[in-house]
Amino acid sequence: MSTQPSQVLGVIPARWGSTRFPGKPLHLIAGKPLIQHVWDRCHECRELSVVTVATDDERIAAAVEAFGGHVTMTSPDHPSGTDRAAEVARAFPEMSHIINIQGDEPLIDPGLIDSLASALLADPGLPMITAANPLAADDPLVNDPNVVKVTLTRDGHALYFSRSLIPHPRSLPADLVYYRHKGIYGFRRDFLFDFVGWEPSLLERTEGLEQLRAMENGARIRVVLTDDTSPGVDTPEQAAILQQLLSR
């Protein structure tokens, strides 16, 4: 890496359009917009040199600036939050690593974000990192195709991600643990630009999981294990549940 010293940029992608929940980033939960909850969590992190909200919507930008946050305006044409994060990274050439933080997880653990950042900084050869939490073998979520599972090597790197149940339990060892993937990603700067330059891969298009593009191109993905099971907000009903939780 030519960038010295190493610094980590936290990017929170936020878009207005959502088929199930339009305007989600500005939905009020416990008196604050959803995006502000995420921002506040990120500002508890010790390993992020800069945090910015990446958006193409002036309404979101105005709201973020109103609560004192930092905004980077981006193109409206990005197919994913990762592509949006890559555009933002180009505006911060001094940043050696980028953490892409979901804008709809108001209870994300700052310690988890710091763990990902620290692991990236400690291993200059590591291109990409993410997180997962354990699921018991009898947890009904293991069979839910909306819950992404990941299998791991012994040294903590991803073997495969799938919406299917992996590994398939032909037998059921007593020590079998499933792992639920959390949608947070960290990248080494040069690798992020490589990643968004590659065409969507066969497995990615089949499973609908962009991290498989990295694996099909031979990249290692470190998986940090966490007890953080913070829920995301995909629907107004989920927002109402979090409203009750955060209002206590």
Q: Tell me what the mean pLDDT of segment 19-24 comes to.
A: 84
Query: Max Cα separation, the chain?
Result: 55
185-224 confidence digits (pLDDT tens): 999 999 999 999 999 999 999 999 999 999 999 999 999 9
Is the residue at 2 inside a domain?
no
- What's the Rg (C-alpha) of the chain? 18
Which pLDDT belongs to residue 231? Answer: 80
Q: Is the pLDDT of residue 3 over 70?
A: no
Number of domains making up the chain = 1
54's CB contacts (< 8 A; 6+ apart) are: 11, 12, 13, 14, 71, 72, 74, 81, 84, 85, 87, 88
| Contact assessment for residue 22 and residue 104, using Cβ atoms and an 8 Å cutoff | no
Which pLDDT belongs to residue 197? Answer: 97
Is the residue at 168 inside a domain?
yes
Q: Tell me what the mean pLDDT of segment 157-175 comes to.
A: 93
Is the residue at 206 inside a domain?
yes
180's CB contacts (< 8 A; 6+ apart) are: 132, 133, 134, 135, 141, 147, 148, 149, 150
Mean pLDDT of the chain: 94
Is the residue at 3 inside a domain?
no
Bridge-based pairing of strands 8-13 and 50-55 is parallel
173-187 confidence digits (pLDDT tens): 888 999 999 999 999
Q: Which of 74-83, 148-157, 237-246 has maximum average pLDDT? A: 148-157
User: Residue 70's domain spans which residues?
Assistant: 8-246
107-140 confidence digits (pLDDT tens): 999 999 999 999 999 999 999 999 999 999 889 9
Q: Which residue has the tokens 């009903």?
A: 237
Q: How far apart are CA 35 and CA 18, in angstroms?
A: 15
Q: Which residue has the tokens 């001094």?
A: 94
Is the residue at 1 inside a domain?
no
pTM of this prediction exceeds 0.85: yes
CB atoms near residue 174 (< 10 Å): 5
Is the residue at 189 inside a domain?
yes
Is the residue at 76 inside a domain?
yes
Q: How far is CA 247 from the centre of its chain?
A: 25
Is the residue at 16 inside a domain?
yes
Q: Tell me what the mean pLDDT of segment 139-156 comes to.
A: 95
Which pLDDT belongs to residue 2? Answer: 46
Tell me the residue type at 146: N
Which pLDDT belongs to residue 168? Answer: 92
Which pLDDT belongs to residue 181? Answer: 97
DSSP string, 96-143: SEEEE--TT-TT--HHHHHHHHHHHHH-TT--EEEEEEEE-TT-GGGG
222-244 confidence digits (pLDDT tens): 999 999 988 888 888 888 988 88
Task: Supply the CATH number for residue 53's domain.
Answer: 3.90.550.10
